[in-house]
Amino acid sequence: MDTYIVRIYRRDARDPQQIVGRVEDAESGDRRTFHNVSELVRLLEGRGAEISVTRKIAGSG
């Protein structure tokens, strides 16, 4: 089973599909940003390879 931490930083009240946030793989620490619901779903389904990755650096939080 995969475990993710999803952080949503911004939502558009007029357009619920427009959200901005980050998905972090709890095991590897890989972080990927998303800019709408479709990108979030692709990331959670494991199809987000084209979406940017940020690797967690030890000691950063």
**Would you list the domain boundaries of the chain?**
4-17+27-55
What pTM was estimated for this model as a whole?
Answer: 0.69
Residue 48 has what pLDDT? 59
Tens-binned pLDDT, residue by residue, of the chain (61 aa): 788 999 999 888 888 788 999 999 999 999 999 999 999 999 988 865 555 555 554 555 5
Comparing CA positions, the residue from 27, 31, 34 lying closest to residue 8 is 34
Distances (CA, A) of 59 to 14, 29, 33, 56: 38, 12, 20, 9
Do residues 19 and 43 touch, judged by C-beta distance below 8 A? no
